[in-house]
């Protein structure tokens, strides 16, 4: 599929969420979850875990978010499983957001963009997570590759780990670093309809928002919903009017319902329906 016949990421995300509801489910083959599912901590266990998630979720849930690190642990066999997860999830109609949190400069950033955001790469997802803390502008090669191929990126802005605020809430010329990230995304998304393809990652459990999202015109991925303690009321308090472009993400809370495919799917749909009713989505 070439760029000319793939809609923009913002349009594809909007359509998929309208059809399937606003939920992203992480595919996190954590050693503890493999053990809980009584699977071996090896590439075969990984494959059974990951493909069970795809079978259960890819036909129903809007966005699936494989965590690259849990596949990389197993070397080339793990990466081969990740390639399968991406391809089969997309075939079933889900958007795949690959959680890689890459952040680099120059030709290295361009190489990451080629790996994850360029047609023809076996690891090309619909979107990836990026870290902007070498400077928002250092991500430019990824923004360009994503735009060219109708893909998206989600840039870390306010994460829920306790160490984050030292960097993210630090002031630079009167603006927090997080706000400079928001403003950089807003600038790139300006005028794009229905929304731009540069999203942000903002944790559900950060407490207070402290940034102005009014001009963002892009999606917000909200991890920490469920097992990490984030609730719909936290999300409403944080995002208020921006709620429509918010994509709550749950991993362990849903995945603990496995390994039964039906139980896993039911838990994901229950979570999605709870979000829909709490957010007043239609």
Q: Residue 281 falls within a domain, yes or no?
A: no
**Whole-number pLDDT of residue 241:** 74
Q: Using CA atoms, how far apart are residues 237 and 241, in angstroms rounded to an integer?
A: 10
Q: Check if 101 is active-site.
A: yes
pLDDT value, residue 236: 86
Spatial distance between the Cα atoms of 105 and 127, rounded to a whole number of angstroms: 19
Residue 29 in domain: yes
- The total of structural domains in the chain comes to 1
pLDDT of res. 3? 46
Residue 219 covered by a domain? yes
Question: 250 forms bridges with which residues in the sheet?
Answer: 25
Average pLDDT for 157-176: 90
- Specify whether the CB–CB gap between 90 and 96 falls below 8 A: yes
> Is residue 226 scored above 90 in pLDDT?
no
With CA atoms as reference, report the closest residue to 110 among 156, 72, 142: 142
Q: Which of 101, 148, 241, 256 is catalytic?
A: 101
What is the domain range of residue 73? 3-275
Q: Does the residue 178 lie in any domain?
A: yes
In a domain, 268, yes or no: yes
**Could you tell me if residue 161 is inside a domain?**
yes
Read off the CATH number of the domain in which 112 is found: 3.20.20.70
pLDDT digits (tens, 9 = 90+) for 23-65: 999 999 999 999 999 999 999 999 999 999 999 999 999 999 9
Question: Would you say residue 282 lies in a domain?
Answer: no
């Amino acid at each position: 599929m070439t760029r000319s016949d793939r809609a923009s990421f913002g349009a594809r995300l909007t359509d998929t969420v309208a059809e399937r509801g606003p939920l992203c489910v992480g595919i996190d083959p954590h050693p503890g979850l493999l053990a809980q599912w009584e699977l071996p901590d090896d590439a075969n266990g990984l494959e059974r875990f990951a493909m069970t998630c795809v079978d259960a979720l890819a036909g129903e849930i809007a966005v699936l978010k494989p965590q690259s690190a849990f596949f990389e642990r197993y070397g080339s066999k793990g990466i081969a499983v990740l390639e399968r997860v991406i391809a089969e999830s997309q075939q079933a109609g889900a958007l795949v957001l690959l959680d890689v949190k890459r952040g680099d400069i120059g030709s290295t950033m361009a190489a990451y963009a080629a790996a994850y955001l360029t047609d023809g790469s076996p690891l090309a997802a619909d979107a990836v997570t990026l870290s902007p803390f070498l400077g928002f502008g250092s991500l430019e090669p990824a923004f360009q590759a994503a735009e060219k191929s109708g893909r998206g990126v989600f840039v870390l802005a306010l994460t829920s780990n306790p160490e984050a605020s030292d960097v993210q809430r630090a002031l630079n010329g009167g603006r927090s670093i997080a706000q400079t990230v928001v403003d950089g995304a807003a600038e790139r998304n300006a005028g794009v309809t229905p929304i731009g393809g540069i999203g942000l990652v903002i944790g559900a459990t950060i407490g207070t928002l402290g940034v102005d999202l009014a001009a963002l015109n892009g999606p917000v991925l909200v991890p920490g919903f469920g097992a990490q303690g984030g609730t719909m009321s936290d999300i409403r308090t944080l995002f208020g009017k921006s709620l429509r472009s918010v994509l709550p993400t749950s991993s362990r809370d849903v995945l603990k319902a496995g390994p039964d495919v039906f139980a896993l799917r039911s838990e994901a749909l229950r979570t999605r329906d709870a979000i829909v009713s709490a957010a007043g989505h239609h």
